[in-house]
Amino acid sequence: MKNIIFLLFPLMFFSCKTEKKELSAIALSGDTLAIEYAKGFSIIQYDGFKILKVKNPWPEADKTYTYLLVVEESKVPQSIAYDHKINIPVKKLVVTSTTHIPSLEAFQEEKTLIGFPGLDYISSKKTRDRIKEGKVTELGKNEDINTEVLISLQPEAVIGFAVNGTNKTFNTLEKSGIPVLFNGDWTEESPLGKAEWIKFFGALFNKTKEATLYFQEVETAYLDAKKLAKSASSSPTVLSGSMYKDQWYVPYGDSWSAQFIKDANANYIYKNTSGSGSIALAFETVLSEAQNADFWIAPGQFKTFNQLNESSVHYNQFEAVKNKQVFTYSNTLGETGGVIYYELAPIRPDLVLKDLIALFHPELLPKYEPTFFKPLE
């Protein structure tokens, strides 16, 4: 842990008699929490408060947000600048992505959730039980949150995500006095980088030690699975992605999706592409370059081979389709239709990796029951 020193410099002034007076310098020391994989946030812990910085809330963001997290109204030096001050542990919270739900439950803090946009997308049984009991309020759609209802709930904080810095809903909330904290887990490019944002939530609940332990367990399981995959005697070729409006969107070679395939000891067709997110290609291009791929994973909206054939007979030219080696996470749903992969995968990359190892190298994980990826029906 690095030692951070802030110095409050002596205040110098002169009296009418030019008498010089000095205030003693005050040293403020804190410990920087170890962040090993995530690039988008940092946490410095002091006696009675924490400073949480989010520096990459959306791609190419030009501002770093500073959140002052204060334990039970502890005294804080006035010299500290911040965007929002929040008392911790937080007791009333609104989150805006299903990826945040498992983090609350990891600390047994699902009771703090009082509102969410699009309740049907939530799959976790623990939180669904609270929804059935009327303890979590529907806030509309994420792109059109009902701000009047949200403000009436008076949460202590809203955990938001944004694609840019111009979110009218969040601006309205902040003007009403409700702090919005940006969570940028979705901008991380590595699986363990996304999972490490559990420490972001750990800071809000003043459970940093628990967050660190949770992440260490996930990290160990992931690295153990990666090591197991290296022992495989072959490295099959893999295609990923799907068609949307006449374009086939495949993950870039730098993406977290591509990292999973690499760590599962498989050869991703587009591993040499560079960029974040996905690249759009013509169907003919993908057919030419990936026709002989051994596997096709994450085929978008397709859940059955009948749907695939009805969409286009040309899919039958792919060897993975001919051999029934197409696997999707879209068939693994919660009771109200939410895709469990979108909710749980970011915080449990170890389960994703094991799924893929079981697909690509079934001899390494015999009798394995997948969590997310299952064959098309």
Model confidence at 49, in pLDDT bands (50, 70, 90)? Answer: very high
pLDDT at residue 364, rounded to an integer: 98
Provide mean pLDDT across the span 21-32.
55
For residue range 137-153, what is the model confidence (pLDDT) as tens digits? 999 987 789 999 999 99
Provide mean pLDDT across the span 159-178.
90
Contact at 8 Å (CB) between 351 and 361? no
Best CA proximity match to 87, nearest among 206, 211, 210, 209 = 206
CA distance 76 to 248: 53
Select the more confidently predicted residue: 43 or 276.
43
Residues 6+ apart with CB under 8 A from 366: none
For residue range 61-97, what is the model confidence (pLDDT) as tens digits? 889 999 999 998 788 988 899 999 999 999 999 999 9
**Is 21's pLDDT higher than 50?**
no
3-state secondary structure of 254: coil
Provide mean pLDDT across the span 305-313.
89
For residue range 196-244, what is the model confidence (pLDDT) as tens digits? 999 999 999 999 999 999 999 999 999 999 999 999 999 999 999 988 8
Provide mean pLDDT across the span 253-264.
95
CATH of segment(s) 3-216: 3.40.50.1980
**Is 1's pLDDT higher than 50?**
no
Provide mean pLDDT across the span 109-114.
98
CA distance 97 to 119: 10
Contact at 8 Å (CB) between 239 and 278? no
Let me know the angle formed at the C-alpha of 50 by 48 and 53, rounded to the nearest 5 degrees. 170
**Hey, what are 368's tokens?**
């394995």
Residues 6+ apart with CB under 8 A from 343: 98, 99, 101, 102, 121, 122, 123, 124, 334
Q: How far is CA 180 from the centre of its chain?
A: 17
**Is 165's pLDDT higher than 80?**
no
Residues 6+ apart with CB under 8 A from 41: 35, 52, 53, 54, 55, 56, 184, 197, 199, 200
Residues 6+ apart with CB under 8 A from 184: 40, 41, 54, 56, 57, 58, 61, 161, 197
Model confidence at 19, in pLDDT bands (50, 70, 90)? Answer: very low
Fold agreement between 3-216 and 231-375: yes
Select the more confidently predicted residue: 211 or 17.
211
Domain boundaries, the chain: 3-216, 231-375
**Is 17's pLDDT higher than 50?**
no
Give the dihedral sign, CA 269/273/276/277.
Answer: negative
299 prior amide bond cis, ω within 30:
no
What is the chain's length? 377
Model confidence at 28, in pLDDT bands (50, 70, 90)? Answer: low
pLDDT at residue 12, rounded to an integer: 36
pLDDT at residue 363, rounded to an integer: 97
Contact at 8 Å (CB) between 240 and 257? yes
Provide mean pLDDT across the span 144-164.
93
Scanning the structure block, which residue is given the tokens 């660190």?
212
Contact at 8 Å (CB) between 26 and 8? yes
Amino acid sitting at position 180: V
Q: Are strands 3-8 and 26-32 parallel, antiparallel or unpaired?
A: antiparallel
Domain 231-375 belongs in CATH node 3.40.50.1980: yes
